[in-house]
Structure 1
Amino acid sequence: MSVEKINTLVIGAGQAGIAMSEHLSQMDVPHVVLERSRIAERWRSERWDSLVANGPAWHDRFPGLKFEGVDPEAFPPKERVADYFEDYARMLNAPIRTGVNVTKVVHNEGRPGFTVTTSEGVFEADNVVAATGPFQRPRYPNIIPESSGIHQLHSSSYKNPGQLPEGAVLVVGAGASGTQIAEELRQSGKKVYLSIGEHYRPPRSYRGRDYVWWLGALGLWDEVKITPKKQHVAFAVSGYEGGRTVDFRRLAQMGVNLVGITKSWNEGVLEFRDGLTKNIAEGDEAYFDVLREADAYIEQNGLSFPPEPEAWELLPDPDCLKQPVLSLNVEEAGITTVLWATGFEFDYSWLQVNAFDNNGQPFHKRGISAESGIYFLGLPNLVNRASSFIYGVWHDAKYIADHIVIQNGYMNYEKP
């Protein structure tokens, strides 16, 4: 069996893998990018039809290419984002091989490097970059039994309202995905319940600047000037319908029924945790924190941004917030579908190396793993909060490429 040898093998041709390829090419590092399907496949087939980028086109891109034909302040739809990455890969002439599934990576015995087994043959690589991103395996709690008769699906399998059976829908999860899907379902005429837990709810824009601008101006991308926020809470921000601040009271006015965290199932009755009002209040406070910091920044720097007093006003609390529902009989409520917008978990079963902690999570510093020659890219908070965004992953990739060049220098050193 022939073995193809390469210095660096990049696994995944989404935003992380393409960014990695650009920097490796600029540093003359021989490499190949392997992609199990098409370039940016998750943008095309593993998200709902109306998904748009979470940031405006002027910001959520790589430095080397603008979104042609897209208003810089607009939020590009998912197909346009996928096309962008295909265009970028073509511009780079990136060495991407599609339709190649990586099944195993192991360290070579008694010598440096790794043996990589794929659906298209075997590689030997000095370095392997896992650029498969954070959205690998759908995660949802095992609460409702299959015997319930309820149609259950994860947000990664949802496409549009017409896909769902007749009846009401419970959307579990109030981050960017859950809130957008709940609103879309309600606009389609469905009765919708939205299960809300802890969340971070920033303004979409304030005083003429999008939130991504404020993240940069206030140092929030790097999180060096703020009190650390709670980990693992839903990030409620969206570019849906041109970009609006996520507002649960507005959703309630539209007819979306707000409930707390989905806790349990008991013979046809869904039970929810108390704490909905508290979680909404904490989300409001996070929102106002950004407004306060933005106002202080404007005053400190003498900027003439237009005032926006209406941003400080909250809609009246709906009845579902004043008197939260703690249980629902699904038959009486007419709920036929539960849509789990509860995020994803990692799947590195193919990466059989010493690069993980005792909990099976990637063990790394800025993407440099505990196993020399293994790197991670595109994960949340790899370096900072920008790391899993288009804007941030490009800069993280540059750091990793530089480290690969340095390590290659050590390995190639010959004492004179």
Structure 2
Amino acid sequence: MAEEIDVVVVGAGQAGLATSHELEQRGVEHVVLEADVPGSAWLRRWDSFTLVGQNHTVRLPGAPYAGGDPQGFMGRTEIAGHLDAWAGRLRAPVRSGCPVRRLQARDGGGFTLETDSGTVVSRVVVLSTGAYQRPHRPPAAASLPAGLPVVDLTGYRNPGSLPDGPVLVVGSGQSACQVAEELVLAGREVVMACGRAPWFPRRAGDRDVFEWLLDSPFFDQRVEDLPTEAARLGANPQLSGAAGGHDLNYRTLAALGVRLGGHLVGADDGVVRLAPDLEASVAAGDDGYRLLRGLVLGVCARQGVEPPDLPDPAPLGRPGVESVPVRELGSVLVAAGFRPDYTSWVQIPGLVDGQGFPVHDDGESVVAPDLHFVGVHYLRRRSSALLFGVGADAAVTATRIANRLGMPA
């Protein structure tokens, strides 16, 4: 017999816990279903993973960072521990080890959730299953020979987890650059198939880049502000929080000995081929730098402060790699971003758009009323999935649910 629960939150990461907190504040009884344990998604990152934003940017409702190192960068186990401790303080039950295998709409309203612990029927459901659900492999990766080990970022733990030999890193965002740096510092030969990602110095003047950008409109950007909806999938600025935080971009990687090439074209005749577009990729990253520089200078103008020194970047000054014999590679690490993955388990036609993002009205599905989303990249703004932005979205959704249930919000 199915268990009946009025409101169910699926996922106990920062989005699900923020939603639970906000529902609790409004007196909405609910249950949180978590496939593993609270915060466990962070533990699936590689061993040396750290936040890119400083610890003080962990501004979760009811669980802001309160440690002794606000300018530092928490590692994956610290982040997971912070979320797990928060879950323990919430009144709503968090059912760990309870993955939802299938969700369907019910005739007449509400939803059926099939879990490993049985069937649940709910009037309202909030999906908070994370912004990074399914690793993306560019189509060209399908041409890589079967005998060459290919690992997605979710399968990488440390340099020793990869087969011996040189590594081809495919990707251009924060994670790709961070892993490429870790590998080359561990003594591995690294070739990088580069895409187009912005970059910015870790610090500008006496402030961290996040402090500048939080004072700018950067994180308030909405999907409709983007040149195209596909821009939602653009890479985050190249940067690192490792070793206390430092600059990380194509120039710093080249200086360490990483061999840079254009984007992955594919493999044939025993050769992996990279496009001759490294110069264009670097130029696109420099355009991103100039855009971010403009935001910083705008902050300075509004606040009436002296702008930091942010000169134009010097030319990279080296040709790109265009081919690598397969026999010279030990493995390929694909770090080309992530895509949403709702349709594999949510059986509601029309739920997502062509890129897999929910089709919604202020966080509520347009095809399934009372099905809500929190923690989706660009759900309401650029910060919607981030540790300092998800709380605002959770509050809006909790208010909407409370109003729908006829409760004071």
Pairwise same-fold verdict (TM > 0.5): yes
Residue 397 of structure 1 is matched in structure 2 by 394
Residue 248 of structure 1 is matched in structure 2 by 250
Q: Aligned runs of 1:216-227 on 2, under 5 Å? A: 216-223=214-221
Residue 36 of structure 1 is matched in structure 2 by 35
Q: Aligned runs of 1:269-280 on 2, under 5 Å? A: 269-280=271-282
* Corresponding residue to 1:154 among 135, 144, 152: 152
Does residue 372 of the first structure (1) align with residue 364 of the second (2)?
A: no
Contact 2:37 2:84 (8 Å CA) reproduced? no
Contact 2:259 2:321 (8 Å CA) reproduced? no
Cα offset, 1:66, TM superposition: 3.7
**Distance change >3 Å, CA 186–CA 229, structure 1 → 2:** farther
Residue 235 of structure 2 is matched in structure 1 by 234
Deviation per CA, 1:148-198: give whole Å up to 9, x if none. Answer: 421110011100001112110000001011000000000000000111111
Q: Aligned runs of 1:333-348 on 2, under 5 Å? A: 334-348=328-342
Determine the C-alpha separation between the residues in 2 that align with 1:34 and 1:296: 44
Does residue 352 of the first structure (1) align with residue 338 of the second (2)?
A: no
The alignment partner of 2:80 has SS state of: helix
**Distance change >3 Å, CA 94–CA 237, structure 1 → 2:** farther
Q: How high is the sequence identity, in percent, across the aligned residues?
A: 34
Amino acid at match of 1:328: V
Residue 287 of structure 1 is matched in structure 2 by 289
Residue 172 of structure 2 is matched in structure 1 by 174
Q: Which moved further from structure 2: 143-152 or 190-199?
A: 143-152
Amino acid at match of 2:173: G
The alignment partner of 2:214 has SS state of: helix
Residue 324 of structure 2 is matched in structure 1 by 328
Structure 2 residue runs without a partner (length 5+): none
* Corresponding residue to 1:408 among 396, 405, 409: 405
The alignment partner of 1:90 has SS state of: helix
Residue 383 of structure 2 is matched in structure 1 by 386
Amino acid at match of 1:405: A
**Distance change >3 Å, CA 70–CA 82, structure 1 → 2:** farther
Contact 1:154 1:340 (8 Å CA) reproduced? yes
Residue 302 of structure 1 is matched in structure 2 by 304
Determine the C-alpha separation between the residues in 2 that align with 1:21 and 1:357: 24
Deviation per CA, 1:2-55: give whole Å up to 9, x if none. Answer: x221111111111111001000111111110001111111111x2100001121
Cα offset, 1:279, TM superposition: 1.6
Contact 2:22 2:394 (8 Å CA) reproduced? yes
Amino acid at match of 1:351: V
Amino acid at match of 2:361: K
Determine the C-alpha separation between the residues in 2 that align with 1:358 and 1:212: 31
Amino acid at match of 1:26: Q
Determine the C-alpha separation between the residues in 1 that align with 2:174 and 2:348: 34
| Pairs aligned (count) | 399
Determine the C-alpha separation between the residues in 1 that align with 2:206 and 2:89: 34
**Distance change >3 Å, CA 324–CA 147, structure 1 → 2:** closer
The alignment partner of 1:245 has SS state of: coil
Q: Which moved further from structure 2: 164-173 or 207-216?
A: 207-216
Determine the C-alpha separation between the residues in 2 that align with 1:398 and 1:120: 29
* Corresponding residue to 1:129 among 116, 121, 126: 126
Contact 2:6 2:123 (8 Å CA) reproduced? yes
Contact 1:250 1:315 (8 Å CA) reproduced? no
The alignment partner of 2:70 has SS state of: coil
Does residue 268 of the first structure (1) align with residue 270 of the second (2)?
A: yes
Deviation per CA, 1:332-384: give whole Å up to 9, x if none. Answer: xx211100001222222221224514635421133111110111111110011
Residue 115 of structure 1 is matched in structure 2 by 112
**Distance change >3 Å, CA 97–CA 394, structure 1 → 2:** same
**Distance change >3 Å, CA 393–CA 276, structure 1 → 2:** same
Determine the C-alpha separation between the residues in 2 that align with 1:262 and 1:245: 25
Q: Aligned runs of 1:41-52 on 2, under 5 Å? A: 41-44=40-43, 46-52=44-50
Determine the C-alpha separation between the residues in 1 that align with 2:397 and 2:220: 18
Contact 1:130 1:375 (8 Å CA) reproduced? yes
Deviation per CA, 1:233-292: give whole Å up to 9, x if none. Answer: 221233122222322112101100011100111021111122211121121122123223
Contact 2:184 2:256 (8 Å CA) reproduced? yes
**Distance change >3 Å, CA 336–CA 20, structure 1 → 2:** same
Determine the C-alpha separation between the residues in 2 that align with 1:316 and 1:351: 48
The alignment's TM-score, normalised by the length of structure 1, stands at 0.90
Contact 1:148 1:268 (8 Å CA) reproduced? no
Cα offset, 1:227, TM superposition: 6.9
The alignment's TM-score, normalised by the length of structure 2, stands at 0.91
Amino acid at match of 1:48: W
Amino acid at match of 1:15: Q
Residue 12 of structure 1 is matched in structure 2 by 11
* Corresponding residue to 2:209 among 208, 211, 216: 211
Deviation per CA, 1:33-80: give whole Å up to 9, x if none. Answer: 001111111111x21000011211111231423434441011111100
Q: Which moved further from structure 2: 290-299 or 210-219?
A: 290-299
